[in-house]
C-alpha cells in the first residue's frame, strides 16, 4: 500500500505532535505508513522547538495533533510544525485536528469578546496550512473561518453503528440534552429509526436565582434513551439530562459523544448520573478511563485514515458519509 501513496509524483508523509501520539500511530498503521521521525523539545522557558529528521521537500504532509489540555501548548506545537514544513518546501500541508481548539468560541455573545475559533483558523493559515481536517466541529460555521478547504468529518457513523448493534432491538428514543444539539439528535433519529425527545432547561418561577427545571419534550417513559452530544466536558449538562430522563421513567440512559474532554468534575458527575453506558471516541486522550463506570471508547483512527487517503488521492471525503449523516 505504501507505493499507492507515492504515485503520480506525489508523496504522502504523516507527522505527529506530542499531545496524543498513540492516535497518530494507529492512523499510520492502518495506512501502512511510518510517522516521520521528529525531534520536539520544550525548553525550560516553555518555548517549543521542532525539527523533522528526514527531507519533506515536495511531500503531501498531514500533521496530526489532538488538542487536549494544555490546549495552548499543543496548538503552538502544531503551528510550529506547519511552519517548519512550509519552510522545508512541503508541497501541501493539511492540519489534522480531530478536536478543533477553541471551537466553542465561534461567535460574539457580548461586546468586546473575541471570536477565537476564527483566530485559530487564521493562525493555521498564517503558519502555512493549505487544508484543515477535523471531527464534529462544535459549530458548522467554523468551516467558513479558514481560507481553504475544511474537511468536516462526522463521528456519528462510528458511534451509531455501535449503538445500533448493541441496543438496536430495544425501544429507543434519541434525546438532545439541550436545544443547541437538536440538529445532531435529528441525524441520530435517521440512523436509528427512533423518535426524538428534547430536554428544555428553564428557570423555576417558584425558586430564586439559578435553579433550573428540566422539561422533557417527547415520550421517554419505558424507553432506552440515547443522549447525544458532540462533546462531554465537565458533564454538567449531560449528567443532569440523564437524571431528568430517569425521573420521567426512562428504562435506561446511554450517552454518546464524539469528544471526551472530561474536565473535573466530569468523572464524579458521570458516575453519579446512573447512566448504563457512556460511549465516546478517542479524538482526545482519556486519562484514567477506568475511573469512569461503564465507559466505552471507540477508535476514530479508521475514519481519519480513510479521510487522509481520500484527500491524498484527490478523492471525495463526502463519499465517506453518503447516506450516513
Question: Distance between CA atoms of 126 and 153, rounded to whole angstroms?
Answer: 23
Q: What is the mean pLDDT of residues 43-65?
A: 98
Model confidence at 250: pLDDT above 50: yes
- Asked, colleague to colleague, whether 2-154+301-318 and 156-298 share their fold, the answer is yes
Whether the pLDDT of residue 6 is over 90: the answer is no
Residue among 91, 201, 246, 251 flagged as catalytic:
201
Instruction: Give residue limits of the domains in the chain.
Output: 2-154+301-318, 156-298
Task: Tell me the percentage of the chain whose pLDDT exceeds 70.
Answer: 92
Per-residue pLDDT band for 319 (boundaries 50, 70, 90) equals: confident
* CATH-assigned architecture of domain 2-154+301-318: 3-Layer(aba) Sandwich (3.40)
| pLDDT over threshold 60, residue 162 | yes
Beta pairing class for 196-203 and 212-217: antiparallel
- Other beta carbons within 10 angstroms of residue 41's beta carbon come to 10
CATH architecture of 156-298: 3-Layer(aba) Sandwich (3.40)
Closest CA to 184 of 139, 238, 220, 148: 139
pTM exceeds 0.85 for this model:
yes
pLDDT at 63 > cutoff 60: yes
Kind of pairing, strands 172-176 and 196-203?
Answer: parallel
pLDDT at position 7 over 90 = no
106-146 per-position pLDDT tens digit:
999 999 999 999 999 999 999 999 999 999 999 999 999 99
What DSSP string runs through 210-266? T-EEEEEES--TTSEEEEEEEEESS-HHHHHHHHHHHHTT-SEEEEEEEEE---TTH
Residues 12-38 pLDDT 10s = 999 999 999 999 999 999 999 999 999
Looking at residues 88-100, what average pLDDT do you find? 98
d(CA 278, CA 262): 12
> CB under 8 Å to 144, separation ≥6 — which residues?
none
Q: Kindly report, residue by residue over 262-301, the tens digit of the pLDDT.
A: 999 999 999 999 999 999 999 999 988 899 999 999 999 9
User: Does pLDDT of 210 surpass 50?
Assistant: no
d(CA 106, CA 154): 19
Residue 166 annotated among the catalytic residues of the structure: no
- pLDDT, the chain, mean: 93
Instruction: State the Cα–Cα distance between residues 12 and 312, nearest whole angstrom.
Output: 7
Amino acid at each position: 500500500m505504501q507505493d499507492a501513496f507515492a504515485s503520480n509524483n506525489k508523496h504522502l508523509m504523516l507527522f505527529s505532535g506530542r499531545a496524543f501520539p498513540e492516535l497518530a500511530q494507529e492512523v499510520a498503521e492502518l495506512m501502512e505508513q511510518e510517522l516521520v521521525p521528529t525531534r520536539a523539545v520544550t525548553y525550560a522557558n516553555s518555548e517549543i522547538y521542532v525539527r523533522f529528521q528526514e527531507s519533506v521537500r515536495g511531500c503531501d504532509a498531514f500533521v496530526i495533533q489532538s488538542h487536549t489540555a494544555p490546549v495552548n501548548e499543543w496548538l503552538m506545537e502544531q503551528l510550529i510544525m506547519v511552519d517548519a514544513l512550509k519552510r522545508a518546501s512541503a508541497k501541501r500541508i493539511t492540519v489534522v485536528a480531530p478536536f478543533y481548539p477553541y471551537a466553542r468560541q465561534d461567535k460574539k455573545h457580548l461586546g468586546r469578546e473575541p471570536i477565537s475559533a476564527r483566530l485559530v483558523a487564521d493562525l493555521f493559515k498564517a503558519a502555512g496550512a493549505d487544508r484543515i481536517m477535523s471531527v464534529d466541529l462544535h459549530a458548522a460555521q467554523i468551516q467558513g473561518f479558514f481560507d481553504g478547504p475544511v474537511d468536516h468529518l462526522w463521528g456519528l457513523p462510528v458511534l451509531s453503528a455501535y449503538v445500533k448493534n448493541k441496543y438496536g432491538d430495544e425501544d429507543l428514543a434519541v434525546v438532545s440534552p439541550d436545544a443547541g444539539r437538536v440538529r445532531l439528535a435529528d441525524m441520530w433519529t435517521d440512523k436509528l429509526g427512533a423518535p426524538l425527545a428534547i430536554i428544555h432547561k428553564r428557570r423555576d418561577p417558584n425558586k430564586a436565582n439559578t435553579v433550573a427545571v428540566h422539561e422533557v419534550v417527547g415520550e421517554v417513559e419505558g424507553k432506552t434513551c440515547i443522549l447525544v452530544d458532540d462533546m462531554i466536558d465537565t458533564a454538567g449538562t449531560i449528567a443532569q439530562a440523564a437524571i431528568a430522563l430517569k425521573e420521567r421513567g426512562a428504562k435506561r440512559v446511554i450517552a454518546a459523544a464524539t469528544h471526551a474532554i472530561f474536565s473535573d468534575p466530569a468523572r464524579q458527575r458521570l458516575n453519579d448520573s446512573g447512566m448504563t453506558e457512556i460511549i465516546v471516541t478517542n479524538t482526545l486522550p482519556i486519562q484514567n478511563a477506568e475511573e469512569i463506570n461503564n465507559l466505552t471508547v471507540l477508535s476514530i483512527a479508521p475514519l481519519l485514515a480513510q479521510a487522509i487517503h481520500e484527500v491524498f488521492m484527490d478523492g471525495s471525503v463526502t463519499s465517506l458519509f453518503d447516506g450516513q449523516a
